[in-house]
Structure 1
Amino acid sequence: MNREEAIHNISVVTDELEDIVERRAKAIEASCSLPIVNIHDNINLIDEAARKSYVSPYAKFDKIRRKRK
């Protein structure tokens, strides 16, 4: 299936003109897409994050309790 057939099929299913579907497709292509990130280049960042010690979600309250005692 090529692009023209796909646009035709979408216009038939959505009951819209092919021009409208074509404009939407061009707008999506023109919009900014997310950058492609190679996770294998960022192995050092993943290792550093894994080495961090565990911090309790209640650490703030534990400090307050220690101060009161």
Structure 2
Amino acid sequence: MNRDEAIHNISVVTDELEDIVERRVKAIEALGSLPIVNIHNYNILIEKPTRKSYVSPYAKFDKIRRKRK
């Protein structure tokens, strides 16, 4: 598939004139090279909770039992 076929296919799919699609392509080319961004590899600092949201009423006895073993 060459460039003209691709522009034609895009114009058929989007139901727009080929001139409009070609103008958009030229505008994108005029921007130059854009940095490639990996959207799946970003760092978000997720803070882990410092304590559990629920503590069993028997947790104290579970700790004592674990220490004895």
Q: The TM-score by the shorter chain falls in which range?
A: 0.3 to 0.5
Higher-Rg structure is: 2
TM-score (ref. length: structure 1): 0.47
Q: Which has the higher helix share?
A: 1
